[in-house]
C-alpha cells in the first residue's frame, strides 16, 4: 500500500525544553473541602505556582477551579471520548471542575506524571467524580483512570488526531497529542489519504516509541517496533493553529507497516513514499486469490469488481460454514466501524457464529479510533456489512483480501 507523505530534507533537532501536561477533575456535583485539601496534599511534592517560565527547572503545577462555564462534557463528547465511564448522566450534572497544569524537566517527567496520576485517582474516588486527560481529551471514571499505569505502554498516553488539510482535497493532517507530557516531541504527517490513516497511525506509534527513550533525537532514526519497521526522517515543523503546543516534528517514513492481529491472518503492508504529498496513490496489485486447489480466477481490476467478488465468495463460504470448516481453517472478515472522528475504520473479526445473515466473532485487530471496542471484544454484525474476508487453510494457503489493492 502506498502512503503518500513526503517532506523536505531534515533539519537539526531542537531540544524539547521540558515536559508539560494538564488534567481536569469533574466533581459529583461539587468537591468538598476535604477532597480539595487531600488533593493538594497529594500533589505536595510538585510545587505550586501561578505561572510557568519558558523552561521549567523543577516540577511545578498551577491549580484552578472552574464551574459549568469551563465546559461540562455533553452526551456526544462522553460517547466519543469516554464511552466506558460509569454514570455519564452524573458527569453532565457536574457543577465544579478542578484544573491542574503541570510542567517539569524531561528527566523527571515520569515521576511528576505518576504523582499527579495517583493524586487525581484518589480525588476522583473521594468525589465520585471523573478525570479528563486534557491533552488527549479522554475521559475516565476513578477506577478507569487508576487502572492506567503512568509507567505503562506509551501508546496508552497519547492519541493520533486527524484533521482536514483545508487545501481543497480530502487529505488529512495527522498529529499526536500527549507525548509532550514525557518531554517528547509531538509528531505530524501532512497530506494523508483517508484510506491510509490507520497505517500512518501505526507508523506514528512506532516512531513515538522509538524516540521516547532517546536522550537526543537525530534527523534520521531507525525504527523497529511491533507496528512498523523502517527509517524515519524528521524535521522541525511549524505548528498549525489547531496543533498541540510545543515542538512538533514532521515525519517522513520509508519502510513497512506490520499488520499482525493474529498469526492466522498476519500480513505485512509495504509503505512507500511518493514524490508529492498531493499525488494520487497507485495501488500495488496483489496476486490472484486462490479460493480452492484449482486455477485461480483473474485478480479484480476495480474496487467494484472486488466488492462483487467478495459478495459471491461469502455466499460460498456461508455454505461451507454450515457444513463445518475443516479443522485448522480460520475465517476472518473485515467490518467497517464508525470512528470518533466521523470516518470509518476497518476491523478484522475472526468469525465464531454465522446464521440467518448475522455473524459474530472476536476482534483480532487493534482498534485505533473506534470508541468502546477493544481487541478481543465480541462483535455482532450483518453479513451485508462485511467488506472483505481472509480464509486461511490449515496448510497455510489463503484466499480473500480482494479489496486491499484498491484501498
DSSP 37: H
Residues 85 and 41 in one domain: yes
Residues 27 and 146 in one domain: yes
pLDDT of residue 113: 97
Q: Which residues, 6 or more positions from 228, have their beta carbon under 8 angstroms from its beta carbon?
A: 202, 203, 205, 206, 207, 253, 255, 256, 257, 258, 271
Residues 190 and 208 in one domain: yes
| Average pLDDT estimate for 178-207 | 90
Residue with cell 517528547: 184
d(CA 229, CA 220): 13
CA distances from 214 to 61, 109, 153, 276 (A): 26, 14, 16, 30
Rounded to an integer, what is the distance from CA 56 to the centroid of its chain?
30
pLDDT of residue 298: 67
Q: What's the N-to-C CA distance of the chain in angstroms?
A: 8
Residues 137 and 30 in one domain: yes
> Is 388 within 8 Å of 400 (Cβ atoms)?
yes
Q: Is residue 11 part of a domain?
A: no
Full-model pTM = 0.63
> Is 90 within 8 Å of 73 (Cβ atoms)?
no
d(CA 406, CA 254): 21
pLDDT of residue 370: 83
Q: Is residue 323 part of a domain?
A: yes
Buried b (16+ CB within 10 A) or exposed e, 321-351: beeebeeeebbbbbbbbebbeebbbbbbbbb
Residues 233 and 207 in one domain: yes
User: Inter-axis angle of helices 33-42 and 109-127, to 10 degrees?
Assistant: 160
Domain boundary among 152, 171, 189: 152
pLDDT of residue 272: 36
Lowest-confidence segment of 8-17, 251-260, 300-309 by average pLDDT: 8-17
Q: Is residue 289 part of a domain?
A: no
- Cell numbers given for 194: 483517508
> Is 207 within 8 Å of 224 (Cβ atoms)?
no
Report CA Rg, the chain.
24
d(CA 124, CA 372): 21
Top-confidence range, 121-130, 230-239, 309-318: 121-130
Q: Is residue 84 part of a domain?
A: yes
Strands 47-48, 398-400: pairing is unpaired
Q: Is residue 6 part of a domain?
A: no
User: What range defines the domain where residue 178 resides?
Assistant: 158-271
- What's the pLDDT tens digit per position in 55-108? 899 999 999 988 766 788 888 889 888 888 888 999 999 999 999 999 999 999
The domain tally of the chain equals: 3
> Is 370 within 8 Å of 341 (Cβ atoms)?
no
> Is 344 within 8 Å of 336 (Cβ atoms)?
yes
- What's the pLDDT tens digit per position in 30-70? 999 999 999 999 999 999 998 998 889 999 999 998 876 67
Q: Is residue 298 part of a domain?
A: no
d(CA 344, CA 64): 38
Residues 236 and 163 in one domain: yes
Residues 183 and 241 in one domain: yes
Strands 186-192, 172-177: pairing is antiparallel
> Is 233 within 8 Å of 252 (Cβ atoms)?
yes
- Over pLDDT 70: what percentage of the chain? 85
> Is 14 within 8 Å of 240 (Cβ atoms)?
no
| Confidence grade of residue 218 (pLDDT, cut at 50, 70, 90) | confident
CATH number at residue 344: 2.30.30
Q: Is residue 280 part of a domain?
A: no
> Is 361 within 8 Å of 352 (Cβ atoms)?
yes
Beta strands in 168-247 (DSSP E): 172-177, 186-192, 220-224, 228-237
Amino acid at each position: 500500500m502506498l502512503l503518500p507523505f513526503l517532506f523536505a530534507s531534515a533539519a537539526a533537532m531542537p531540544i524539547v525544553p521540558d515536559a508539560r501536561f494538564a488534567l481536569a477533575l469533574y466533581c459529583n456535583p461539587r468537591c468538598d473541602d476535604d477532597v480539595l485539601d487531600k488533593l493538594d496534599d497529594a500533589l505536595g511534592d510538585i510545587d505550586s505556582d501561578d505561572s510557568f517560565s519558558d523552561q521549567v527547572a523543577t516540577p511545578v503545577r498551577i491549580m484552578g477551579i472552574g464551574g459549568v462555564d469551563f465546559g461540562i462534557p455533553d452526551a456526544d463528547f462522553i460517547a466519543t471520548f469516554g464511552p466506558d465511564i460509569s454514570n455519564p448522566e452524573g458527569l453532565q450534572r457536574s457543577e465544579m471542575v478542578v484544573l491542574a497544569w503541570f510542567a517539569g524537566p524531561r528527566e523527571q517527567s515520569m515521576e511528576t506524571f505518576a504523582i499527579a496520576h495517583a493524586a487525581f485517582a484518589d480525588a476522583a474516588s473521594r468525589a465520585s467524580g471523573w478525570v479528563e486527560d486534557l491533552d488527549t481529551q479522554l475521559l475516565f471514571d476513578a477506577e478507569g483512570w487508576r487502572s492506567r499505569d503512568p509507567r505503562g505502554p506509551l501508546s496508552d498516553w497519547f492519541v493520533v488526531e486527524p484533521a482536514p488539510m483545508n487545501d481543497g482535497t480530502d487529505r488529512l493532517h495527522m498529529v499526536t497529542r500527549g507525548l509532550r507530557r514525557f518531554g517528547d516531541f509531538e509528531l505530524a504527517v501532512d497530506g494523508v489519504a483517508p484510506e491510509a490513516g490507520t497505517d500512518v497511525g501505526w507508523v506514528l506509534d512506532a516512531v513515538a516509541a522509538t524516540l521516547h527513550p532517546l536522550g537526543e533525537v537525530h534527523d534520521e532514526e531507525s525504527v523497529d517496533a511491533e507496528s512498523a519497521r523502517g527509517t524515519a526522517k524528521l524535521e522541525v515543523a511549524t505548528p498549525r493553529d489547531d496543533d498541540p503546543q510545543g515542538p512538533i516534528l514532521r515525519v517522513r517514513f520509508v519502510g513497512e507497516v506490520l499488520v499482525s492481529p493474529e498469526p492466522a491472518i498476519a500480513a505485512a503492508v509495504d509503505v512507500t513514499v511518493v514524490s508529492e504529498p498531493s499525488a494520487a496513490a497507485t495501488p500495488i496489485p496483489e496476486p490472484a486469490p486462490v479460493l480452492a486447489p484449482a486455477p485461480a480466477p483473474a485478480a479484480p481490476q476495480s474496487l467494484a469488481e472486488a466488492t462483487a467478488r467478495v459478495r459471491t465468495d461469502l455466499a460460498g463460504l456461508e455454505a461451507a460454514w454450515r457444513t463445518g470448516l475443516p479443522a485448522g481453517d480460520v475465517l476472518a472478515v473485515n467490518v467497517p466501524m464508525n470512528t470518533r472522528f466521523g470516518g470509518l475504520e476497518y476491523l478484522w473479526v475472526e468469525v465464531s457464529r454465522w446464521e440467518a445473515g448475522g455473524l459474530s466473532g472476536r476482534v483480532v485487530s487493534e482498534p485505533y479510533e473506534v470508541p468502546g471496542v477493544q481487541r478481543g471484544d465480541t462483535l455482532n454484525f450483518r453479513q451485508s456489512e462485511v467488506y472483505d474476508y481472509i480464509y486461511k487453510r490449515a496448510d497455510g494457503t489463503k484466499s480473500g483480501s480482494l479489496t486491499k489493492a484498491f484501498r
